[in-house]
Amino acid sequence: AGVAKPGAVYLHEADAEAWVRMVRVNLWAMTEVTAAVLPGMVERGRGAIVNIGSGAAEALPSYPLYSVYGASKHRYVAQFSRSLYVEYTGKGIDVQCQAPLYVDTKMVVSMVTWGGYVSQVVMPTPDAYAGAAARCIGHRYPFCLPNLGHRLQMCFNQFVPGRILVVLCFRETLQQRAMHLPRS
């Protein structure tokens, strides 16, 4: 699960309840469900927990206009999952953070402003991503980018200076913001 609403906004522009909803879904619900299923997995001596982070937040030095989303889906989810991986791998439980970049969902399509054609390698369908994601489970990777296109994008980002990534990202999120602002 994940919530990116209210979308590309400056922090002061959204009401506090929007941020509370995002934190409840992106952090609290994941933590609560994980805590609920772990005792049974420990008792059985096996299990798998897959938490979904954000490849966009992982790939970028900062995620302007998505500060709460980026912080919640990147730092918290990734660190939580990596820590649990260390704690529970010896108990037969595989914990991983999968961090997709763009997947062709309503949330993403409403955000992306590339217009025109986007390859399904770069933005796979939910079914294509789910198949790749399922194949990663059980391989003892605490962090995983299941989709080949996403791995290639992440590798590409390693060669682009952080300042350039931030400028490009901010430009994109400002365009998203402009598309979704109410017309007056």
3 state DSSP class of 51: strand
Closest listed residue to residue 8, CA positions, set 184, 156, 170? 170
Catalytic residue among 63, 66, 69, 102: 69
Sheet holding 143-144, edge to edge: 47-52, 93-98, 143-144
Residue type, 135: R
69 catalytic per annotation: yes
By annotation, the residues acting in catalysis are 69
